[in-house]
Amino acid sequence: MNLERLYDKITKHEGVRRRLYDDATSRDLGQGDTIQGHPTIGIGFALDVIDFPADIARLWLTRIVAQRVSALRSSFDWFDHLDGVRQEVIVDMSYQLGIAGFGKFHKMIAAIEERNWQEAKAQMLDSDVARQCPNRYRELADTIETGVWA
């Protein structure tokens, strides 16, 4: 069996879809959509049928984090001047919220630019997302303040 040829044939027949779609209708899926078939992505990976492999999840995480770091560097000139731990906090937030969502933390960002870590912590905790994910944001807020992971 020639696996490379097989992979090429399956890819040709399935296609490569970079967005979640309904395999019955081939329609891209968004939040709240009703589906007729299976939620599918990639090369026919029906996510309700297969277990998503941990090594692929980690690889995907690695790529997304690299994209976030690049976007943060180009969007915020202060990012590279932070210590590594505080950079990690910012990347964690932008991973969850996206760059645009992170950018809405105007008062927190101003406090970070001033290196006012107590105010940055207070602004982070005074947010809807901190109320939705209290454990995560308590840890992130403590870390932005101290520069040390708990």
Q: What is the pLDDT of residues 113-132, one digit of tens each?
A: 999 999 999 999 999 999 99
Contact 124, 139 (CB under 8 A): no
pLDDT band at 87 (very low <50, low <70, confident <90, very high): very high
What structural domains and CATH numbers belong to the chain?
3-46 (no CATH), 54-146 (1.10.530.40)
- Token pair of 94 as six digits: 């932008």
Q: Which residues pair with 17 in a beta bridge?
A: 42
Q: Which of 142, 96, 138 is nearest to 117 (CA)?
A: 142
The 10s digit of each residue's pLDDT in 10-64 is 999 999 999 999 999 999 999 999 999 999 999 999 999 999 899 999 999 999 9
Contact 141, 130 (CB under 8 A): yes
Q: Which of 76, 83, 81, 66 is nearest to 148 (CA)?
A: 83
- For the chain, list the strands marked E by DSSP: 17-22, 27-28, 39-42, 45-46
- Whether 88 shows a pLDDT value over 90: the answer reads yes
